[in-house]
């Protein structure tokens, strides 16, 4: 991302052997004028555990130095309304990135302003997720 702009990274995964799923998103907005705004989100669903879905979102004035978001890793933490989430996830896959805009020159052009790309369109997510103490610190399952 340049001096100004909007960037959003997310991972959506489900456990193939249970009714658990997660969605994590890191967004960053740098306006041409005014302060930067960053939001880290974590949504979890654990139907096997009989839990209601939990959403945690925290807004920051700058990208937290211990956070990471990109094609291979998501790391961060957030707190909201008495809930706390912390994640450190690796995302791997062997498919080529998905760039649905046609023609490919649109990725270099000023329009459209939003350019969807899925660097890992179908992969596996491994690592740790801590959410209000419900899930163990280390996930032993591979998520898809």
CA distance 70 to 16: 23
pLDDT for 39: 98
- Start-end of H helices in 32-139: none
Mean pLDDT of the chain: 86
Give the pLDDT score at 116. 85
Cα–Cα distances (Å) from 38 to 10, 16, 59, 74, 89, in that order, read 13, 31, 6, 15, 19
Quote the CA–CA distance of 39 and 32 in Å, as a whole number. Answer: 18
Look at phi and psi of residue 121 and say left if phi exceeds 0, alpha if psi is from -120 to 50, else beta.
alpha
Higher-scoring residue by pLDDT: 137, 103:
103
Task: Read off the pLDDT of each residue in 120-131 and give the average, rounded to a whole number.
Answer: 89
pLDDT at 122 exceeding the cut of 60: yes
Q: Per-residue pLDDT for 144 more than 80?
A: no
The answer to whether the pTM exceeds 0.85 is no
Q: What is the C-alpha separation between 88 and 78, in angstroms, rounded?
A: 12
Provide the pLDDT confidence category of residue 64 given band limits of 50, 70 and 90. Answer: very high
Cα 127 to its chain centre, rounded Å, is 13
Give the separation between CA 44 and CA 13, rounded to whole angstroms: 10
């Amino acid at each position: 991302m340049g001096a100004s702009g909007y960037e959003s990274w997310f991972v959506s995964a489900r456990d193939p052997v249970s009714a658990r799923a997660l969605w994590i998103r890191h967004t960053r907005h740098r306006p041409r004028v005014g302060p930067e705004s960053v939001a880290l989100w974590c949504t979890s669903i654990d139907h096997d555990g009989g839990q209601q879905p939990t959403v945690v979102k925290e807004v920051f004035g700058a990208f937290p130095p211990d956070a990471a978001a990109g094609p291979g890793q998501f790391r961060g933490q957030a707190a909201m309304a008495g809930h706390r989430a912390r994640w450190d996830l690796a995302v791997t896959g062997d498919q080529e990135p998905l760039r649905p805009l046609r023609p490919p020159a649109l990725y270099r052009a000023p329009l459209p302003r939003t350019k969807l790309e899925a660097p890992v369109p179908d992969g596996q997510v491994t690592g740790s997720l801590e959410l209000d103490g419900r899930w163990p610190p280390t996930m032993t399952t591979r998520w898809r």
